Structure 1
Amino acid sequence: MIILVKTKSQGKQVKSDISNYITKRLKLIINESKSRVGPVSGSKFLGFTFHYGQVQIHDNALKLFKEKVRKLINRNWGISMTRQIHKLTQFLRGWGYY
Structure 2
Amino acid sequence: MWSSSQGIPNIPDITHPQEIIELGNQILKTSLILIILTGFLGIGIAIINFSIRHHQESEPKNLINELVSQYSSLLKSLPHLILVLSLVIS
TM range (shorter): 0.3 to 0.5
Q: Which has the higher helix share?
A: 2
TM-score, normalising length: structure 1:
0.37
Please say which structure displays the higher CA radius of gyration: 2
Structure 1 or 2: more strand by fraction: 1
Quick one: higher RCO (CA 8 Å, sep 6+), 1 or 2?
A: 2
- TM-score, normalization: structure 2? 0.39
